[in-house]
Amino acid sequence: MPGPVALSIGEPAGIGPELALQVWAARAKNGVPPFLLLGDPALLAARAKLLGLSVKISECGATDASREFANALPVEPLGISSSALPGKPDASSAALAKGAIERAVALVQAGQCAAIVTNPIAKSVMTAAGFKFPGHTEFLAHLAAKGGVAPRAVMMIWSEELAVIPVTIHVPLAEVPHLLSVELIVETARIAARDLTRRFGIARPRLAVCGLNPHAGEAGTIGREDAMVVKPAVEKLRAEGIDASGPFPADTLFHAEARSRYDVALGMYHDQVLAPVKTLAFDRAVNVTLGLPFVRTSPDHGTAFDLAGSGRANPASLVAAIKLAHRLASAEAPAHAG
């Protein structure tokens, strides 16, 4: 496998820096693979002191990170300092967060790092600094563009208990019926099926597709979208040889027996599928970006400004994200070698 996992520092005033410190401090207990933290060594040293964590920091690059990891936290300085204090983002926050993402992509594209894990960013802080993307996913797709064409990125929230994909993501609920189309559902499902095979090793992924309306439309009596949009999309996928089924009423799709019948559930809107996975695996769920030419995962939580600097933030999701990134990159390595 080509190098360590590249971990971006995320929003400097959020919980990302301290979670990275906590994960390294408990590296043996958590069994995390080597990672290279991209950020500001001085900020990390100050945050470790604030939290009373004994963390030795080694300023190094990807080449030395795996060797250094056993005895020190490998940090690659970006030449961007941040004065942000816990819970108090300032004008220096966005530059460091953005620079860490860009460096992570450069390292993985160069083959020096195996995968990318991103700590959470604050969209409001980034936008105020001129960041023109809705979030990580779109920015990563932009950085991965070839010939000016960005890959179509799909967000999957994964846990051992349940994996889900929202077909529409951060949009008002009132806009969802107008945004849904056969083409959007089919394209999302194709990417999901491909990456579940390529990276998760599932030979023929089973995709369960939620209906938009209660009872999946009840034969058209509770809305026509399921009959006119969702069902034709499922039929098209099946005609292509993809094991898709539905549309299913979402209220009966997430109990244990139902979950045993599929590998991923596709929902028509954000909360339809994110609420179940966060209920089942709130501290262990991982955000996985499908459709990119490299592996990217992220803890499934935000910057938590209210917890920053307190030492009370739970690192479990970051641990899971690093482990999953390593696993997916390891599974894909033979294909790269060939």
Q: What is the pLDDT of residue 173?
A: 96
Provide the pLDDT confidence category of residue 335 given band limits of 50, 70 and 90. Answer: very low
Which residue type sits at 140?
Answer: L
Which domains can be identified in the chain, with CATH numbers? 1-152+295-338 (3.40.718.10), 154-291 (3.40.718.10)
Q: What is the pLDDT of residue 317?
A: 95
d(CA 233, CA 245): 10
* Chain-centroid distance, C-alpha 262: 21
d(CA 330, CA 332): 5
d(CA 170, CA 137): 12
The mean predicted confidence, pLDDT, of the chain is 94
Report residue 327 as tokens. Answer: 């696993």
Q: What is the pLDDT of residues 138-150, one digit of tens each?
A: 999 999 999 889 9
Residues 6+ apart with CB under 8 A from 235: none
Average pLDDT over residues 70-97: 95
Average pLDDT over residues 10-17: 97
d(CA 81, CA 249): 50
Q: What is the pLDDT of residues 202-233, one digit of tens each?
A: 999 999 999 999 999 998 999 999 999 999 99
Handedness of CA 121, 272, 223, 226 (dihedral sign): positive
Q: What is the pLDDT of residue 2?
A: 65
Q: What is the pLDDT of residues 42-73, one digit of tens each?
A: 999 999 999 999 999 999 999 999 999 999 99
Residue from 180, 327, 200 nearest 263 by CA: 200
Q: What is the pLDDT of residues 234-267, one digit of tens each?
A: 999 999 999 999 999 999 999 999 999 999 999 9
Q: What is the pLDDT of residue 24?
A: 97
- Sort strands 163-166 and 154-158 into parallel, antiparallel or unpaired: antiparallel
Residue given tokens 């060797």 in the structure block: 67
Q: What is the pTM of this model?
A: 0.92
Residue given tokens 């951060």 in the structure block: 170
CA dihedral 84, 90, 92, 93 (to 10 degrees): 70
Q: What is the pLDDT of residues 133-188, one digit of tens each?
A: 988 889 999 999 998 899 999 999 999 999 999 999 989 999 999 999 999 999 99
